[in-house]
Amino acid sequence: MTLAVPLLSFLLLQAPVANPAAEGMKALEDQRWDAAVAALSKAVEAQPKEYALRFNLAFGLSMIAGREADAVAAYRSVLELKPDLYEAQLNLGILLFNMKQFADAAVLLQQAAAQKPAEFRPVSFAGEALLAAGMADKAVPLLRKAVELDPKSRDAAIALARALAKDGKLAEAEPVYRKLAESTPETLLELATLLEAAGRAPEAAEIYGKFPDNAAARERAGEILLESGKAADAIPQLEASVKQSPTPANRFALAMAYFVTKQYDKAEPLFAAAVKDDPNNLSLRMNYARVLRQQRKYAPAAQEFARVASAKPDSAEAWSDLAGMLILLENHPQALAALDRVRALNAETPAHHYFRAIILDKNKLHEPALASYEKFLETSGGKNPDEEFKARQRVRIIKKEREKR
């Protein structure tokens, strides 16, 4: 936001060149701000009731980096002398806005807009200040008026769209965004984020897909498709995003899309790279382990599950997956130890009882194997018919062998 021009005091016309007021005005015209402030400070000391001099001093101060607080004080002194001075309300409001003191700026800019409701600048500035201060509902009417006053102002239009959206009027904001996008297509990206927040993710994904050269947009389009269960459709978007600008986020999303579509050979190197970049991310490491498992790379999969279980000993999921890998590797002692951890966490399922029974049975520990088979049959409830059939057979055989003894 830019300030209004200095006020031309009648002193400029009447005073001789040596007069500080005239010197100050000449310095302002030449944009010699320090000289202007020095001269006008002397003029104000000589004529403290002359509000025009104070206004010009405030303007000069506002143009010097680091003197903003002094400018604010100077403008306030102007308004003490002349409370309704439009130019002081406008300039002080703009200055406070630029200093991010939005609520104070909004008060002054609304006063300026009330004085000149048919002028674009005060109306537009007041609307923007209210929006920045978190008062979108009050900003909307002013910004509507600003757009009417200057239909070509992109700043006013985008501010109106944002105010409508923040005021919960996305249906009204959407056509404003789309109109702006006719000249600035990137405006649609802001609309897309709002549509996502409103639960309209498919529409947002459609917008993101319209920006093939924007890696971030393609990444988000792919993530939305992946989240909505359309992993196959997500892959082209994510592949393009990774190719254009690889990041840990888009590589992970692409890896997950490959994983979901069972393209494990493509997912593995992406997960491996992601784990290398973020070795403490246990969720990422679990997914990497599962990809290895799907490719029958049981030993490295077991290593990854073991790392997760070690780092998060209360994770029954990690211990369970580790047990499964160790069983396939026929590392029975460690597999039983992992199953014991699952039991200690009160997370046993029928599958855990079955796995325990198999291990014990293979190691000829028939009595505990029998107990585990029976516990499996008790808890499975017909949900695992093939395994239940095998368990019944082993129970019958173990009991018969026990009777022989």
Note the pLDDT tens digit of each residue in 160-178: 999 999 999 999 999 999 9
Q: What integer pLDDT is reported at residue 2 of this predicted model?
A: 63
Query: Residue 142 pLDDT more than 60?
Result: yes
Q: Do 257 and 226 meet the contact criterion of CB atoms below 8 Å apart?
A: yes
- 89 vs 156: CA distance, rounded Å: 20
Give one DSSP letter per residue of 281-321, joined into a string: -HHHHHHHHHHHHHTT-HHHHHHHHHHHHHH-TT-HHHHHH
Note the pLDDT tens digit of each residue in 247-284: 888 999 999 999 999 999 999 999 999 999 899 999 99
Helical (H) or strand (E) element with 204: helix 201-208
Query: What contacts 31, CB < 8 A, 6 or more positions away?
Result: 63
Confidence of residue 17 (pLDDT cuts 50, 70, 90): very low
Sign of torsion over alpha carbons 105, 108, 114, 118: negative
Query: What contacts 67, CB < 8 A, 6 or more positions away?
Result: 37, 61
Q: Is 374 exposed, middle or buried (0-12, 13-18, 19+ CB in 10 A)?
A: middle
Q: What integer pLDDT is reported at residue 400 of this predicted model?
A: 87
Phi–psi pair at 86, nearest 5 degrees: -55, -45
Phi–psi pair at 46, nearest 5 degrees: -75, -35
pTM of the complete model beyond 0.85: no
Q: What integer pLDDT is reported at residue 4 of this predicted model?
A: 55
Q: Do 286 and 271 meet the contact criterion of CB atoms below 8 Å apart?
A: no
Confidence of residue 85 (pLDDT cuts 50, 70, 90): very high
Overall residue count recorded for the chain in this entry: 405
**Residue/partner pairs of 218-224 with CB below 8 Å, 24 or more apart:** 218/244, 219/247, 219/249, 219/250, 219/253, 220/192, 222/250, 222/253, 222/254, 222/257, 223/253, 224/196
- 347 vs 341: CA distance, rounded Å: 9
Return mean pLDDT, the chain: 92
Query: Residue 18 pLDDT more than 70?
Result: no
Burial 340-370 (b: 16+ CB within 10 A, else e): ebbeeeeebebbbbbbbbbbbbeeeebeebb
Q: Looking at residues 312-331, what average pLDDT do you find?
A: 96
Confidence of residue 312 (pLDDT cuts 50, 70, 90): very high
H runs (alpha helix) in 215-297: 215-227, 231-244, 248-260, 264-277, 282-294
Radius of gyration of the chain (CA): 36
Q: What integer pLDDT is reported at residue 218 of this predicted model?
A: 93
Q: Looking at residues 53-67, what average pLDDT do you find?
A: 95
Confidence of residue 3 (pLDDT cuts 50, 70, 90): low
Q: Which tokens belong to 379?
A: 């808890």
User: In Å, what is the CA distance from 237 to each residue of 208, 210, 211, 254, 266?
Assistant: 10, 11, 10, 9, 16
Neighbours of 165 (CB within 10 A): 23
| Residue pointed to by tokens 């947002």 | 204
- 203 vs 197: CA distance, rounded Å: 11
Q: Looking at residues 69-82, what average pLDDT do you find?
A: 96
Note the pLDDT tens digit of each residue in 19-53: 899 999 999 999 999 999 999 999 999 999 999 99
Q: What integer pLDDT is reported at residue 14 of this predicted model?
A: 40
Confidence of residue 401 (pLDDT cuts 50, 70, 90): confident
Confidence of residue 112 (pLDDT cuts 50, 70, 90): very high
Q: What integer pLDDT is reported at residue 154 of this predicted model?
A: 95
Q: What integer pLDDT is reported at residue 403 of this predicted model?
A: 74
Helical (H) or strand (E) element with 121: helix 120-132
Confidence of residue 402 (pLDDT cuts 50, 70, 90): confident
Q: Which tokens belong to 189?
A: 């990206």
Q: Do 78 and 85 meet the contact criterion of CB atoms below 8 Å apart?
A: yes
More confident residue, 402 or 386: 386
Q: Do 108 and 93 meet the contact criterion of CB atoms below 8 Å apart?
A: yes
